[in-house]
Chains A and B, each alone.
Chain A
């Protein structure tokens, strides 16, 4: 026994220096901490098998890539033949080809997994790597099992020339088929992911997750600096940079990766199970609710002064989107990014559970404090918010997820940049997409329903509003200035515009109204949330039995009737006292 401590391990390096903070880390502590520096959270690079060991259930990985071979298609040689480089890499790496794939489980939930080992010629993608990823995607499609691909790569492999370049198409088309078939693809981007890998399958996942500070990009930063002759900002091409620029769904520390992927798998397992069910079974997934039923008869709603309602809708303590999500749904998993330009915090979106049903929830978020309001731009989306929203509407469509949208915005952001980046088009595209979405879509206006900025996410099969919300073509203040030539006439404009729930119910703009506690939702947010949940459940219960064709046809008719003579209800004029 005594010799164990001293003899056999004297040659082995057991303390590693963190390249980020220079702390010495004992190897067992590093391993226990999943390869993350306990002092500064630097995520050390992992071997692919260690990564799989961290993510998958113990012993569940069944490798299927054993027969893969690297082909020296060009008979390539630089200072040494490619075949020698392969042999060298095989010694250094723990894979035969630089990639592996197979099946496994996470908390018992099945998954097809593929991964690249960066130690193998810089994780570059040649034919065998592309083959491994493609086979994994094909297996995932065939078995309708979610796919996880873990990438760490410098890009396409030079030694395989254009055959390497073709892997970008091969892998992209394979994951495209997953999308067409409604099979989930999660892409985990680790440090570094560049070039032909980041510009193909790796950024095509339904969900893109990166580890903190992972460097991800197409061209390397030095090339960019040399080209544009500018110093790049700190943190350029890090995961955080990409998240802020809308390119990722999540930046997840290693310790949370397994849990996050597991949550996604669970939500999608529900969606997959619901896919083949009949209407009754799907309705059976909805939860029992305790809140008050939605109101469809305007006579049952109390008459309130519209200007008072505007104040209630804007009340700082009124429950906002994220509060309501907490009351109405479980397991909300936020997803970020428009994949184009920027993360817009005015629109928050993600997957959630409603009873046993997975749904997509998209809403405008304001917040309660000054800093929250600023962070969420007072709930005024820019084009990026609508593009994120559209991306996730398409996601919902791919997986047959019912869509719930929550509207609470003074309007789309009126800014220079927003116009430069196509605010009008973003709203238009969003309206069009939502109006033809092949899944049930329920909209609830919970606070301010500010014109086109609201409508962009409000073209649902059913549109509801909370009792003290308002919905308007223009803000009362705007209307009073333009039409009444008097900025102080906003209360009068609020009356004239007919923006309250009973009026909109009568006009057919609303299908139902969610009752609020006496005094407004802010007096009892939980009760308001329960009522919202009851309304969503009841509405989805009506929609779930409808076929896609029926949904789209009915939605068309719903919006087709507005302004059509004979079909459009009109309201009686306001009395003299009401208009003054």
Chain B
């Protein structure tokens, strides 16, 4: 009876019918209050519906079946949904101990570690998860950010390249490769990556951002004429006029007369702000696309 009910509740859950799923599970739980499968479905559906007792149902499942890795996994997700990151981390740790193949739990563990300030630990878990998951998994993508935060740019670049290979159309990954190549001094690779971005992103007005990356690369080389040449092509595609000050700076550096040239620091800030805006734009798009997948 409860197996049948669990199957029915699960079918509703899989169909995204969380109310029906939870109602079916709760109804069956009335007759079998210690049925772990039913508790798991009721709890998971409850998380989707913001039910107050969802976490407690999942915790009860872990008490009844402490060896059930899924129960710990789902409890961790419920706790993470409530922002209880320490407890969520503990639950994911149990899930991974019980089922080392649960790469999603491992990824969650990495993220909860990061959220609780244990960055090095987080990097360890995320890199383990990233190795066994798809190139552009949550672990892989956020690992790039973690490495960056910790100043491990070589590792960040290697990870970003991995994602870019797996997802050749992913603009954020391409931007990561470009920026990180610039950061670690692989300037030819940086130029190539920014050029790749220009090809990938054909939205009118967006050309300026990769161009700014290329100018930043030329500046790093102290190739003032090269940078000036690039900057000279920019105003046409730069409706916001970010490049005007830049040209004055480059003219001054190249020994040409320039008025009101900004400092190197101001130029660096302006270029990184441009790339930051660009990243934000595409990170938002990537998030929205992912949310669509998550439903």
Contact = CB atoms under 8 A, between A and B. Distances in A.
B49 to A, nearest CB: 10
* 4 closest Cβ pairs, A-B complex: A222-B240, A226-B241, A13-B138, A28-B81
Interface string B225-240: 0000000000000011
22 contacts: A2-B70, A10-B137, A11-B134, A11-B137, A12-B294, A15-B107, A19-B284, A22-B149, A24-B111, A26-B77, A26-B111, A28-B47, A28-B80, A29-B80, A29-B82, A47-B292, A78-B204, A92-B285, A158-B204, A223-B241, A226-B241, A229-B260
Contacts of A416: none
B83 A38 contact: yes
Most B Cβ at <10 Å: residue of A11, A22, A50, A229: A11
Contacts of A12: 137-138, 290, 293-294
Given A19-B284, A28-B77, 19 more contacts: A1-B10, A5-B74, A5-B99, A5-B105, A6-B102, A10-B133, A13-B141, A14-B138, A17-B142, A17-B145, A24-B142, A38-B83, A45-B288, A47-B291, A80-B202, A94-B292, A223-B240, A223-B241, A226-B245
A50 B115 CA distance: 26
Interface in A375-405: none
A580 to B, nearest CB: 70
Interface string B174-216: 0000000000000000000000000000101000000000000
Given A6-B99, A17-B145, A119-B288, A26 B133 contact: no
A26 B80 contact: yes
B101 interface: yes
Contact of B284 (A29, A45, A223): A45
Main secondary structure, interface of B, reads helix
B104 interface: yes
Interface residues of A, number: 42
A353 B121 CA distance: 57
B134 to A, nearest CB: 5
A44 interface: yes
A15 B142 contact: yes
B97 interface: no
Contact of A19 (B81, B149, B283): B283
Contacts of A4: 70
Interface of A: 1-2, 4-6, 9-17, 19, 22-24, 26-29, 31-32, 38, 44-45, 47, 50, 78-80, 92, 94, 119, 158, 220, 222-223, 226-227, 229
Interface in B247-295: 260, 280, 283-294
Most A Cβ at <10 Å: residue of B240, B241, B288, B293: B288
Interface string B41-53: 0000001101000
A10 B37 contact: no
Contact of B103 (A10, A28, A220): A10
B101 A6 contact: yes
Contacts of B93: none
